[in-house]
Structure 1
Amino acid sequence: MLMTQIIPGLVVTDPMRQAAAAALDAHAPDVGPLTWARWTQPEGWTLVPDEDGTAYKAELTLWQSDARTVRVNLWYAPDRRGGAQPRPHSHPWAFRSHILAGHYVEDRYELAGGRVRTELGVEHRAGSVNEIPRELYHEVTEVEPGTLTLMLCGPGERGGWGYLDPETGQHTPTGPDPAFRARLAALNPHQQW
């Protein structure tokens, strides 16, 4: 099996690339092809840190414009921004996540008539598609390490990120995290920050 370390903390294989390439051909053919050279280009990959500075996923951005973003995610751990407490977040765009390998579990929250509607433990397995509208808040709570997804995002709204307090239904816009850029740079010395 063809395998390579792109940067410290990120090892990819050709079977991963083949799964991502097939999904790209099926769902965003104008962005392909996903060759081995493109797949292993360090500049395309970003390790995303959690609040402790540990990478919880790697992102390969294949296309990014105001109209859409196409990205492959290689998941290592859940996206728990509130530690032990639920801290669901929204995104500034609607997106579809095609699960190519592995699986993850998320909790979903929606505001409906001033109340928070909760759907806990929603599982997404290889072969399924997770649709996330902009008004949905979610939190990835469990991940099979090595889960691979193709994320197809629509147009974004500046300032659209935010958190939901599940108890009160209060939305809090995401503010700048002065330490995030330093955590990001520490994991990604191959990129210009």
Structure 2
Amino acid sequence: MTTPRVAEAGDPFPLQLAEALRGNGLRPGLAELTAAAEHVRAARDAFAAWLRDLVADDAMVADIAKRSYWHPNGFAKIVLHTGVEPDFRVRLHVWPSSDTPSRGESNPHSHRWEFASHVLTGTGMHMVEFTEAAEGGRPFRRYRYGTDPANPAALVADGEAGLKRRATRHVEGGGTYRCDTAIVHTVRPIDAGLTATVVIQGPHLTPTTVVYCEPGESDDQPNGELTPDDFAALVTAVLASLESEAAR
């Protein structure tokens, strides 16, 4: 059996994460995804250096912007890196400073993949986890995401459901959070300040996932275009926040 190569400090940052993800040599599971998120936490200076390299490369900025977008609730989902062996993505989620706290992802939803995230900068994140209730619960309309081959981002109606709160979690700045495909949750920053998380996403495990909308809420919630200028401005703001935190 071949001994896995150990990542070194001088490796490109995505390669460091790939080594943390290889683990038992199979597809990355929650343990490996969490190890990669913990590597981001432990190597924040190296991660910041990688961000500076990315934002200084015009071609890379344009490429990243093409595969990224603004969520309809006002935060940016930026795909910094996609890996094949192992299969993973590195995403940067950024909630810009606002006069009021961001709604974050206010529709209860699950994911087609497992992930672990690290709160890179900001006060932290608030998560509420839900479960469907056979009786009672708050009424929602259930939709399936990913079922329409012609429009994978479309929400396809899938009946009604009652949801009850299962757990409430707070992850403070610098902390990590892990999530599997069975969890239905909402996510929002704790306050209205700039908040950024680094999400280490594993491979797709299910073809579809669920999204719940309140009765009367529109299911037409298109993503917004994220431009290269948006990407540069967001990363510059995140880097400035990291430098300010380091100075304190």
Q: With structure 2 as the length reference, what TM-score do the two structures score?
A: 0.47
Please identify runs of 4+ aligned residues in structure 1 that moved more than 4 A: 24-27, 111-117
Structure 2 contact 189–195 (Cα < 8 Å) conserved: no
Q: Does 1:160 align with 2:234?
A: no
Q: Show the counterpart of 1:9.
A: none
Q: Does 1:180 align with 2:228?
A: no
Question: What one-letter code is carried by the residue in structure 2 that aligns with 1:98?
Answer: H
Please identify which structure carries the higher strand content.
1
The aligned runs of 1:6-21 (5 Å cut-off) are none
Structure 2 contact 113–202 (Cα < 8 Å) conserved: yes
Q: Show the counterpart of 2:52.
A: 36
Per-residue Cα deviation, 1:127-185 (whole angstroms, up to 9, x for no partner): 2111111100111144433212111111113533212479xxxxxxxx9x5x725x33x
Per-residue Cα deviation, 1:46-83 (whole angstroms, up to 9, x for no partner): 341316xxx322424222448211122222333245xx
Q: CA deviation at 1:33?
A: 6.6
Question: What one-letter code is carried by the residue in structure 2 that aligns with 1:48?
Answer: W
Relative distance call for 1:23 and 1:190 in structure 2 (3 A) is same
2:94 to 74, 82, 96: 74
2:81 to 52, 55, 62: 62
Q: Show the counterpart of 1:7.
A: none
Which runs of no fewer than 5 residues in structure 1 stay unpaired?
A: 1-19, 82-86, 167-174
Report the 3-state secondary structure (helix = DSSP H, G, I; strand = E; otherwise coil) of the residue aligned with 2:70. strand
Q: Does 1:89 align with 2:105?
A: no
State the distance in 2 between where 1:98 and 1:92 align.
Answer: 19
Which runs of no fewer than 5 residues in structure 2 stay unpaired?
A: 1-36, 97-101, 136-161, 231-248
Report the 3-state secondary structure (helix = DSSP H, G, I; strand = E; otherwise coil) of the residue aligned with 1:34. helix
Report the 3-state secondary structure (helix = DSSP H, G, I; strand = E; otherwise coil) of the residue aligned with 1:159. coil
Higher gyration radius (CA): 2
Question: What one-letter code is carried by the residue in structure 2 that aligns with 1:108?
Answer: E
Quick check: 67-76 or 99-108, which moved more?
Answer: 67-76
Q: CA deviation at 1:112?
A: 8.6
1:105 to 96, 102, 126: 126
Q: Show the counterpart of 1:6.
A: none
Q: Show the counterpart of 1:23.
A: 40
Report the 3-state secondary structure (helix = DSSP H, G, I; strand = E; otherwise coil) of the residue aligned with 2:112. coil
Q: CA deviation at 1:24?
A: 7.4
Give me the identity figure in percent. 18
Q: CA deviation at 1:96?
A: 0.4
Q: With structure 1 as the length reference, what TM-score do the two structures score?
A: 0.58
Relative distance call for 1:24 and 1:60 in structure 2 (3 A) is farther
Q: Output the aligned Cα RMSD.
A: 4.0
Please identify which structure carries the higher helix content.
2
Relative distance call for 1:49 and 1:188 in structure 2 (3 A) is farther
State the distance in 1 between where 2:54 and 2:42 align.
Answer: 15
State the distance in 2 between where 1:119 and 1:24 align.
Answer: 28
Q: Does 1:131 align with 2:153?
A: no
Report the 3-state secondary structure (helix = DSSP H, G, I; strand = E; otherwise coil) of the residue aligned with 1:98. strand
Q: Which fold has the larger relative contact order, with Cα–Cα distance below 8 Å and residues 6 or more apart in sequence?
A: 2
State the distance in 1 between where 2:103 and 2:213 align.
Answer: 19
